């Protein structure tokens, strides 16, 4: 053992889904994945709405703009972020003319009144209706608030792109 | 040409020596209280002729002259002379002798005589200078424990003449008159030596080459550290080397275990990172990977340091084994002033200035921590200690100035937090060897008290060292303890106690 050499570690933190590799400046929100290379018309997939290093959030209004001629949003599910450890968050949505509004509220408990970190806030299950490039982005009306209803500063809003094909 | 002190019988020699001793040193006489008549009756006549030391002549020639001298005395049948094989089967390294196998001091010769259980020992030196031969020798009585005869032959120009003179010498040593018709036989010993060499040359493939004791000692220490020293009758030094390698090996095992743990953690988390597609989990894995990688590197670096240290000590052990191993030939270190060419040293040299300074590498690990560090695990760290001869005696305690640099590092159980830094200590080193009898002078005992500067604070350092110095090499091994009492920004007021080992050299 004295004469044999132990291996030195070499590593690359280059996972494409690592928020550190997405050129984001936290705190921010983004889509995961940020790109769908080719989804056939008629197929469905899941897009997650992520927050990145957001601190002390108690609720959120996420307004998402999308091309309603190419994709339709079928279902919206809550993610892990606004769970208080026991209860799921309060979630309600509405969509109209290519805009989806997602409202999320953390249900406070004695021990938990807000959430922090990098996690999925909600999941969108969408179906491709027609071929074409469909960008999806957060609008400026998107906001995240703390338990005192103060808006939390977000440095960036991520974008996603869906390439729908036949 | 040839001088001999006296040609008396052993009994008359005793009488002469006793009288001389009385004149020169009354104390000797009173202490011995020898009953001369009884002593003479009790004294045996076993005599050993030690191999003569040689300078300027070949070893075979030295052996032949010694053996011829031995045989001549034997033929005269005054003494029961030990054969060369019996005489040479005992080798000792006597304190004060510079080279293993050399036995020139009175103490060593008497010790050898005791081991050989003889009554008399003859030892001497044969020197060739400018084609002239000189023989000096002494005969010691084991019963009297002192020299009873001295003899010398000077300025003999031919080898046959020296053989003749040494034959005469054997008569004198035996207390007999030298016959007028004395002559020397043909050089049968030389012939037999040559024949023996030729016989060996005939069948070189049958016999393994004779390995000298030095090479054998080197080989032993190459395989097992310290084994060569044990072979060379330096058991403590050998055990020191062996112990040092065991300690280093144990530390290496510990470090390797830590490395394996970190490496396992790294591989697991890195693999998870590579296949994970959840950004939330990826962002959590990232710092774990960095932490495991740093931890792995730290342990590996420590292992590399231990490897260098271990290899260095191993190399020193090999060199030391070669140096202290018994030599197959006796080497004359020149105790004869006539041939000494030592130059007098009147100037102060760089060596003189550096003498007394020492450097020690330190490996240390906290074993006890204060409350603010209770949730942290310690690492094994390295340090450096510079000892100086600058100091003062307080009674029998020499207090010297010392400088120590060492690292310290702790990590929380989950690797979330790390505390690391280095300390620099200027300290007083108290040599308590004379005050603490444990271990005698071979183990030096030091107490250590100093003021430390830590990476983000200050403190005090108290400690102690048990240092084992290798007598024939300026190398030392030590066990160290240190108590750090610190006041730093990151830790507040706290303390930790460390134990460690160090290996050092000291400029003699």
Q: What is the pLDDT of residue B29?
A: 38
Is B376 found in the same domain as B292? no
Is B341 inside a domain boundary? no
On the question of pLDDT at B314 being above 70, the answer is yes
Region B384-405: mean pLDDT is 84
Distances (CA, A) of A96 to A50, A61, A83: 22, 15, 27
Q: How confident is the model at residue B398 (pLDDT cuts 50, 70, 90)?
A: confident
Q: Which of B202, B223, B243 is the last residue of a domain?
A: B202
Is A115 inside a domain boundary? yes
For residue B223, count other CB atoms closer than 10 A to its CB: 10
Is B166 inside a domain boundary? yes
Is B155 found in the same domain as B76? yes
Is B390 found in the same domain as B474? yes
Is B177 found in the same domain as B249? no
Please indicate if any CB of chain A lies within 8 Å of the CB of B318. no
How far apart, in whole angstroms, are the C-alpha atoms of residue A84 and residue B248? 52
Is B188 found in the same domain as B43? yes
Question: How many domains would you assign to chain B?
Answer: 3
Residue B23 maps to which CATH number? 3.40.50.10610
Q: How confident is the model at residue A153 (pLDDT cuts 50, 70, 90)?
A: very high
Please indicate if any CB of chain A lies within 8 Å of the CB of B268. no
What would the pLDDT profile of B158-194 be if each residue is shown by its tens digit? 767 777 888 888 888 888 887 777 765 544 444 444 4
How far apart, in whole angstroms, are the C-alpha atoms of residue B117 and residue B114? 5
Is B310 found in the same domain as B372? no
Q: What is the pLDDT of residue B169?
A: 82
Is A144 inside a domain boundary? yes
Structural tokens at position B132: 């002239």
Is B252 found in the same domain as B108? no
Q: How far is A118 from chain B (nearest CA, A)?
A: 5
Is B359 found in the same domain as B411? yes
Closest among B264, B334, B377 to A7, alpha carbons compared: B264
Cβ-defined contact of A2 to B278 (cutoff 8 Å)? no
The runs of H, that is alpha helices, within B134-234 are: 159-173, 188-202, 213-223, 227-231
In terms of residue numbers, what domain contains B29? Answer: 2-202
In terms of residue numbers, what domain contains A95? Answer: 19-165
Contact A117, A81 (CB under 8 A): yes
Region A2-9: mean pLDDT is 68
Give the distance from CA A49 to its chain's centroid: 2
How far apart, in whole angstroms, are the C-alpha atoms of residue B488 and residue B479? 27
Is B133 found in the same domain as B29? yes
Please indicate if any CB of chain A lies within 8 Å of the CB of B470. no
Which of A10, A11, A20, A29 best tests the B interface by mutation, with the highest count of B CBs <10 A?
A11
Please indicate if any CB of chain A lies within 8 Å of the CB of B277. yes
Q: Which residues 217-256 of chain B have a CB within 8 Å of chain A? A: 248-249, 252-253, 256
Q: Which of B285, B301, B336 is the last residue of a domain?
A: B336
Cβ-defined contact of A18 to B283 (cutoff 8 Å)? yes
Is A1 inside a domain boundary? no
Which range scores top for mean pLDDT: B115-124, B267-276, B408-417? B267-276
Cβ-defined contact of B273 to A50 (cutoff 8 Å)? no
Is B465 found in the same domain as B508? yes
Is B237 found in the same domain as B196? no
Strands B146-156 vs B358-369: parallel, antiparallel or unpaired:
unpaired
Residue A128 maps to which CATH number? 2.60.40.680
Cβ-defined contact of A18 to B282 (cutoff 8 Å)? yes
Using CA atoms of B38, B39, B44, B50 in order, give the dihedral in degrees to the nearest 10. 180
Is B457 found in the same domain as B396? yes
Is A72 inside a domain boundary? yes
Distances (CA, A) of A150 to A58, A59, A154: 10, 10, 12
Cβ-defined contact of B280 to A117 (cutoff 8 Å)? yes
DSSP chain A: --SSPPPPP------TT-GGGTT--SSEEEEESSEEEEEETT-EEEEEEEEEEEEEE-EEEEEEE--TTTEEEEEEEE-STT--SSSPPEEEEEEETTEEEEEEE----SS-S-EEEEEEEEEEEEEE-SSEEEEEEE-TT-EEE-TTSPBPP-SEE-EEEEEEE-
Is A36 inside a domain boundary? yes
On the question of pLDDT at B203 being above 80, the answer is no
How far apart, in whole angstroms, are the C-alpha atoms of residue B227 and residue B77? 44
Is A51 inside a domain boundary? yes
Q: Which of B277, B308, B336 is the last residue of a domain?
A: B336
Cβ-defined contact of B279 to A118 (cutoff 8 Å)? yes
Is A11 inside a domain boundary? no
What would the pLDDT profile of A68-126 be if each residue is shown by its tens digit? 999 999 999 999 999 988 889 999 999 988 999 999 999 988 888 899 999 999 999 99
What would the pLDDT profile of B472-499 be if each residue is shown by its tens digit? 677 888 889 999 998 887 778 888 999 9
Question: How many domains would you assign to chain A?
Answer: 1
On the question of pLDDT at B126 being above 50, the answer is yes
Q: How far is A34 from chain B (nearest CA, A)?
A: 11
Q: How far is B196 from chain A (nearest CA, A)?
A: 46
How far apart, in whole angstroms, are the C-alpha atoms of residue A20 and residue B285? 12
Chain A residue whose CA is closest to B284: A118
Facing residue for A20 by CB, picked from B286, B304, B310 = B286
How far apart, in whole angstroms, are the C-alpha atoms of residue B354 and residue B359? 11
Residue B354 maps to which CATH number? 2.40.160.20
On the question of pLDDT at B438 being above 70, the answer is yes
Please indicate if any CB of chain A lies within 8 Å of the CB of B278. yes
């Amino acid at each position: 053992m004295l004469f044999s050499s132990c291996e030195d570690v070499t590593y690359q933190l280059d996972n494409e889904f690592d928020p550190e590799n997405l050129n984001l400046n936290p705190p921010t929100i983004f889509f995961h994945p940020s790109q769908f290379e080719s989804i056939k018309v008629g197929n469905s997939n899941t897009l997650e709405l992520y927050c990145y290093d957001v601190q002390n959030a108690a609720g959120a209004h996420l307004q998402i703009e999308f091309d309603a001629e190419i994709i339709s949003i079928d279902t919206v599910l809550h993610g892990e972020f606004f769970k208080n450890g026991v209860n799921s968050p309060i979630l309600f949505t509405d969509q109209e003319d290519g805009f989806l509004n997602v409202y999320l509220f953390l249900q406070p408990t004695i021990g938990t009144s807000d959430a922090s970190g990098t996690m999925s806030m909600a999941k969108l299950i969408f179906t491709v209706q027609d071929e074409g490039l469909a960008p999806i982005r957060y609008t400026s009306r998107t906001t995240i608030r703390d338990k005192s209803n103060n808006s939390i500063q977000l440095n960036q809003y991520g974008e996603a792109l869906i390439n729908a094909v036949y | 040409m040839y001088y001999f002190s006296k040609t008396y019988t052993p009994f008359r020699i005793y009488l002469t020596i006793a009288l001389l001793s009385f004149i020169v040193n009354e104390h000797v006489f009173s202490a011995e209280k020898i009953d001369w008549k009884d002593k003479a009756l009790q004294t045996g006549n076993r005599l050993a002729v030690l191999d003569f030391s040689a300078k300027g002549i070949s070893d075979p020639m030295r052996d032949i002259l010694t053996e011829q001298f031995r045989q001549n005395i034997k033929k005269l049948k005054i003494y029961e002379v030990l054969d060369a094989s019996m005489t040479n089967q005992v080798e000792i390294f006597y304190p004060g002798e510079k080279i293993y196998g050399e036995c020139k001091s009175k103490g060593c010769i008497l010790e050898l005589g005791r081991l050989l259980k003889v009554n008399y020992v003859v030892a001497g030196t044969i020197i060739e200078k400018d084609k002239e031969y000189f023989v000096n020798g002494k005969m010691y009585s084991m019963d009297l424990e002192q020299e009873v005869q001295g003899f010398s032959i000077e300025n003999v120009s031919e080898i046959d003449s020296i053989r003749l003179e040494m034959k005469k010498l054997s008569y004198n040593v035996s207390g007999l008159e030298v016959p007028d018709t004395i002559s020397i036989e043909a050089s049968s010993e030389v012939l037999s030596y040559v024949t023996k060499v030729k016989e060996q040359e005939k069948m070189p493939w049958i016999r393994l080459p004779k390995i000298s004791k030095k090479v054998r000692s080197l080989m032993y220490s190459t395989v097992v550290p310290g084994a060569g020293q044990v072979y060379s009758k330096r058991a403590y030094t050998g055990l020191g080397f062996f112990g040092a390698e065991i300690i280093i090996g144990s530390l290496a095992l510990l470090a390797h275990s830590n490395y394996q743990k970190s490496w396992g953690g790294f591989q697991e988390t890195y693999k998870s990172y590579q296949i994970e597609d959840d950004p939330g989990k990826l962002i959590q894995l990232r710092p774990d990977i960095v932490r495991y990688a740093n931890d792995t590197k730290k342990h590996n670096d420590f292992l590399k340091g231990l490897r260098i240290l271990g290899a260095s000590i191993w190399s020193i052990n090999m060199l030391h084994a070669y140096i202290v191993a018994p030599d197959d030939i006796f080497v004359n270190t020149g105790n004869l002033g006539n041939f000494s060419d030592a130059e007098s040293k009147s100037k102060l040299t760089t060596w003189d200035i550096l003498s007394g300074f020492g450097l020690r590498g330190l490996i240390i690990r906290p074993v006890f921590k204060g409350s603010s560090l209770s949730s942290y695990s310690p690492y094994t760290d390295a340090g450096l200690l510079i000892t100086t001869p600058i100091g003062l005696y307080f009674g029998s305690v020499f207090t010297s100035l010392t400088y120590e640099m060492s690292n310290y590092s702790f990590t929380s159980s989950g690797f979330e937090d790390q505390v690391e830094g280095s300390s620099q200590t200027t300290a007083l080193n108290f040599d308590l060897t004379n005050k603490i009898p444990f271990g005698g002078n071979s183990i030096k005992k030091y107490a250590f008290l100093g003021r430390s500067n830590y990476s983000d604070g200050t403190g005090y350092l108290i400690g102690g060292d048990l240092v084992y110095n290798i007598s024939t090499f300026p190398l030392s091994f030590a066990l160290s303890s240190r108590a750090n009492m610190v006041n730093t920004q990151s830790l507040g007021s706290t303390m930790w106690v460390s134990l460690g080992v160090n290996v050092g050299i000291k400029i003699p």
